[in-house]
């Protein structure tokens, strides 16, 4: 039985398409072969992933490590408005920009109308 290999294409420094094929035959000239077990390790590579997010071994690095290296931005979590007490917003995904300069990650204090 032929083994399944994984191939991917790159556009503008990001993974564009991923394909699994039986055997070692490339789906085309623009396709690159991924290392064995590429789709079995967490985090699983997906279209849109930047090539800088992969280590020397070809496997995707964990998000925590990418944030530490400055390759991704972590603004996730609850943000509080500095002037409007009680107003908050949530950022859900990595690399999403923060809500802006009038917002902070620390909760506002009661009785303090303007906080910095």
* More confident call, 76 vs 1: 76
Neighbouring C-beta atoms of residue 77, cutoff 10 Å: 10
> pLDDT at residue 115 above 60?
no
> pLDDT at residue 116 above 60?
no
Average of per-residue pLDDT across 53-79: 95
Closest CA to 32 of 57, 50, 9: 9
Which pLDDT belongs to residue 90? 95
Average of per-residue pLDDT across 2-8: 90
Distance CA 71, CA 63 (A): 9
Which pLDDT belongs to residue 18? 96
Report DSSP state, residue 36.
T
> pLDDT at residue 110 above 90?
no
Distance CA 7, CA 38 (A): 10
Identify the band that residue 92 occupies on the pLDDT scale cut at 50, 70 and 90.
Answer: very high
Identify the band that residue 78 occupies on the pLDDT scale cut at 50, 70 and 90.
Answer: very high
Residue that has been written with the tokens 């931005």 in this structure? 73
């Amino acid at each position: 039985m032929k083994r399944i290999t994984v191939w991917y294409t790159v556009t503008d420094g990001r993974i564009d398409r991923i394909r699994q094929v039986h055997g070692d035959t490339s789906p085309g000239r623009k396709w690159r072969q991924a290392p064995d077990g590429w789709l079995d390790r967490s985090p699983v590579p997906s279209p849109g992933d930047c090539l800088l997010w992969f280590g020397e071994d070809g496997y995707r690095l964990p998000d925590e490590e990418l944030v530490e290296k400055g390759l991704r931005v972590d603004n996730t979590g609850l943000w509080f408005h500095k002037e409007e007490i009680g107003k908050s917003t949530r950022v859900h995904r990595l690399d999403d920009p923060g809500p802006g300069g009038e917002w902070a990650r620390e909760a506002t204090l009661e009785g303090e109308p303007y906080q910095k």
